[in-house]
Amino acid sequence: MKINILLYDRMTALDAIGPYDVLSRFPGNEVLFVGERAGPIRTDTGYLTLVADAALDDAPPADIVLVPGGFAPPLTPGPVHEWLRAADATSTWTTSVCVGSLILGVAGLLDGRRATSHWLALDNLAAYGAVPTAERVVFDGKYATAAGVSAGIDLALALLGKIVGPEAAMVVQLGIEYDPAPPFQAGSPATAPEPIVTFLRENRDMVVQL
């Protein structure tokens, strides 16, 4: 399988690298990092540079397209969304992590579909005709969307399970020793202490600017 992962300025690195590190470990899978331009992409914190190996126009078609989220995702219709529509026309799976689903929404790819996003942005999906669905990973036909940041790892394992089977996905899971043990119970608005949830709701701009 060929996998194209979109990179853009101020994206969130883990949104892309979590799924990448799962999907790239299955033998025969090939990943290409695609940017609006080829070359360095500075991620959201300003401390990390990833490199896009191909510009949008130079990326060959892929079986899987993955769109990460970011601090200020590109939501004004432009070349990224045109590229996504073209990529989606030939993809087997079109996927996103975190507010990457809003980018798919702007591209018009989630109209009428169940989808998820970062919990602070979930309601924004409705503006694109999607059905906001508060689950960690949501499949609707060939579209797979993940909740915030770290959920991309779960999405990628689920996707690998569908494509190459549970055994192969489990080999990859054991290879990356994905037996998570968060030291706190605060990973979702349903499990986090109420003051933590309220703090982030009132300071959403710390996490994402929409």
Residues that bind a second copy (CB under 8 A): 12-14, 17-18, 20-21, 24-25, 30-33, 40, 45, 47-51, 53, 98, 118-119, 136-137, 147-151, 153-154, 157-158, 161, 166-167, 169-171, 173-184, 186-189, 191-193, 195-197, 199-200, 206-207
**Secondary structure of residue 176 in the 3-state scheme:** coil
> Whats the size of the chain, residue-wise?
210
- Whichever of 112 and 180 has its CB closer to a second copy, that residue is 180
Catalytic residue (choose from 5, 11, 98, 156): 98
Q: CA-CA distance, 111 to 171, in Å (whole number)? A: 35
Q: Minimum Å distance from CB 160 to a second copy?
A: 9
Residue 105 · residue 125 · CB < 8 Å: yes
The residue with tokens 């989808």 is: 115
- Whichever of 19 and 105 has its CB closer to a second copy, that residue is 19
The residue with tokens 């770290």 is: 150
- Whichever of 82 and 186 has its CB closer to a second copy, that residue is 186
Q: Minimum Å distance from CB 153 to a second copy?
A: 7
Q: Please report, for residues 17, 30, 31, 192, 193, the alpha-carbon distance to residue 199 in angstroms, rounded to integers and kept in the order given.
A: 27, 41, 37, 11, 10
Angle, helices 151-164/13-23, rounded to nearest 10 degrees: 30
Cα 76 versus chain centre, distance: 18
Q: Minimum Å distance from CB 45 to a second copy?
A: 4
* Annotated catalytic residue 98: yes
Q: Minimum Å distance from CB 183 to a second copy?
A: 4
- Whichever of 67 and 81 has its CB closer to a second copy, that residue is 67
Active site residues: 98
